[in-house]
Amino acid sequence: MNWISGATTLLCALFTTAFVAGRGTAEQPPQYPDTLQSVWFYTEGIKQQTIHRDTAQARKFFLEAIRRDSTCAPAYYEMAANNLCRTADEAALMAGRACRLDSTNKWYRQLYGQTLIYAGRYAEALRIFRRLQIDYPRDPDYYRLVAALYEQTDFPVQAILTLDSAELRLGRIPYLSDMKRRLLVSTGQTARAIEEARAEVEATPYEARPHAMLASLYAADRQDSLARAEFDAALAIDSTNVETLMLLADFHTERQDYRSLLATTRRLFLSDGVPLETKIHRFEQFTADIRFYREYYLQLHDLAAILAIRYPDDPRVVELYADHLIASGELEQALALYKIHLADRPAVEKYYRMTIDIESYLQRPDSVQKYVSEALRLFPDRVDFHLSRGHVMSYAKQYDRAIEAYEESLPLATTDSLRSVIWGMIGDAWHQKAIGGSDDWDERVDLGLVKPDAAFRKNIKRSYAAYERSLRYDADNVLVLNNYAYFLTIEGRDLERALAMASRATALEDGNPTYLDTHAWVLYKLGRLDEARKMLQRAVVLDSQNSPALLAHYGDVLEALGERFMAEVYWRRALEKGYSEELIEPRLERARKAEEAGKATEAGEGRKARQNTEGRKARNPQNEKR
């Protein structure tokens, strides 16, 4: 909207050299005659706007100029033209006043029409641009705007007539012809649009664009064979024409001819005339549907390779190609690609992050430690690299060094939620140190195979202190809520608080089977067996990983409810899924002993019942007769 007229620009230049440049405020001007005071304020507004870029001050000066002289048309214009108005309606008001004060000024009228469009007042804008079209009949842009406004106000026929008038006066202008053909198609006059496009082809037979436009119209009319012929003609003239290739790609998309679409897209990817952003966007569209990705993997791999070859050092392409390799299951190739680019300077943080993530996934702690050290040397203030070092140390069971790394990251944390996460990691590290990194320590405690010692209690106290700090920063840190509740349950302490934390965790993430397992386990420890059973049933259904610990816990709850047969079924399923035989066997043995004891009890009760019956018969022989 920056429509500064030549006169305004000259005035600005004259006054900015006449006065000392300064930021100033809307104070009293020097002692000029009253007729010039508004000019001084207007000029100061121009200085603030163009030299100091201070729009707030510029607005003040322009408004003061208007207050002192309500006929100061340039001030109204500058307010509207330079986005100094607070609403679209205010801009239209300012531009309208400038236009009424100087109705012969083309730029004022044009700005007024534009502000009316921004304000959504299309009928009023149409009147302005219709008048401009009449006054300036050689300017094709006014025909375009008038036609667009007729279309916007639901008068497409008038829009077509306006474009016909432009063609009679000015001859064929490509963008007006395109607009006219689109309007003809939208009003059901496809045959006329084709006729006009064919005439343009005949007039310029050796240009690719008219053939491509005609092909698109044939396609809209479902005359596919003619459309293909015109596309072929256009490509024969210029096989690299981007506009033709884009229209052809759209044609194949509408026909769902995806192999032809990908072949056309390949030609676009090889063209320097297509911006890289467009190529990346198209590739992302293709790969958004996993089924499409699988079916046309070879063609998509080819497109990704073209980008990697043509733009080898562009970070966006490196990321795109690496993501494609990862999605293809080629982790080692993706890792190699990132490692090649670790030598790029300036160093790219994401390359290190992805290298560390992939090496971590591949369980190579030595490599992870190497690249984490390099990343910290280059990016010492990146909190995530400190956290990665902590993870490496924790994985290597060097818990003191892990805790040290986590604590070093705390000063770099910028939010309470991140501080909460880090304190949660510290708590987890202290807990792992307490249990010696055992994966099944909790189960061994439950079965009485191990007993907590003084070192355990010391480290677990530090773990709980870290969890408390974590929850002070974020009371809804769901991972800490879950872990803290479960660890309290193992010790059999503060079970009501453990229940409150587990309940909150499941409320925050209701469909998480791990959190449901913890919640159920707390209920189990509290003796609320029916509730525990229902929750574990849901957890087992939701658990797509078939966690053996979850199956074992469900068996424990069923056993406590007296359903020993089903308990044994779930224990054996846990064993099949990889649960330790050492932990399942005591459960099965316990169930066998309980079953044997039950049978013995039943047998004893049966013998006692028979003895009582025989005794009653001996005391009362008449019973036999009766």
**Residue 623 pLDDT greater than 70, yes or no:** no
- Predicted TM-score (pTM) of this structure: 0.63
Burial class (CB in 10 A: 0-12, 13-18, 19+), 28: exposed
Q: Which amino acid is at 150?
A: Y
> Looking at domain 495-618, which of 3.40.50.2300, 3.90.1300.10, 1.25.40.10, 3.40.50.300 is its CATH number?
1.25.40.10
Give residue 148's Cα distance to chain centre.
Answer: 35
- Domain range summary for the chain, segments of one domain joined by +: 495-618
Stretch 95-117: mean pLDDT: 94
DSSP states of 307-350? HHHHSTT-HHHHHHHHHHHHHTT-HHHHHHHHHHGGG-SSPPHH
Stretch 197-218: mean pLDDT: 91
Which of 262-276, 403-417, 545-559, 580-594 is least confident? 580-594
DSSP states of 211-230? HHHHHHHHHHTT-HHHHHHH
**Both tokens of residue 34?**
């009253």
Supply the pLDDT for residue 602: 58
Answer whether the bond into residue 346 is a cis peptide, omega within 30°.
Answer: yes
Supply the pLDDT for residue 9: 35
Q: Which amino acid is at 128?
A: I
Burial class (CB in 10 A: 0-12, 13-18, 19+), 526: middle
Supply the pLDDT for residue 122: 94
Assess contact for 547 and 536: CB atoms under 8 A. Answer: no
At 603, is the secondary structure helix, strand, or coil?
helix
* Band of residue 10 on the pLDDT scale cut at 50, 70, 90: very low
Instruction: Provide, rounded to the nearest whole percent, the portion of the chain with pLDDT above 70.
Output: 87
Which of 17-21, 59-63, 391-395, 444-448 is least confident? 17-21
**Residue 159 pLDDT greater than 70, yes or no:** yes
Supply the pLDDT for residue 616: 56
Burial class (CB in 10 A: 0-12, 13-18, 19+), 355: buried
Instruction: Provide, rounded to the nearest whole percent, the portion of the chain with pLDDT above 90.
Output: 61
Question: CA angle, 221 as apex, 216 and 223 as ends, to 5°?
Answer: 85
Q: What's the Cα-to-Cα distance from 50 to each of 6, 29, 43, rounded to whole Å?
A: 15, 20, 11
At 585, is the secondary structure helix, strand, or coil?
helix
What sign has the CA pseudo-torsion 89, 93, 96, 98?
negative
Q: Which of 64, 3, 52 is nearest to 23 (CA)?
A: 52
**Both tokens of residue 435?**
């249990």
Q: What's the Cα-to-Cα distance from 524 to each of 528, 532, 556, rounded to whole Å?
A: 6, 6, 9
* Band of residue 8 on the pLDDT scale cut at 50, 70, 90: very low
Supply the pLDDT for residue 457: 86
* Band of residue 2 on the pLDDT scale cut at 50, 70, 90: very low
Of residues 622 and 171, more confidently modeled: 171
466-490: per-residue pLDDT in tens? 999 999 999 999 999 999 999 898 8
Supply the pLDDT for residue 547: 85
Assess contact for 517 and 509: CB atoms under 8 A. Answer: no
Euclidean distance between CA atoms 292 and 289, whole angstroms: 5
- Residue that has been written with the tokens 């459309």 in this structure: 227
Supply the pLDDT for residue 204: 87
Euclidean distance between CA atoms 257 and 185, whole angstroms: 24
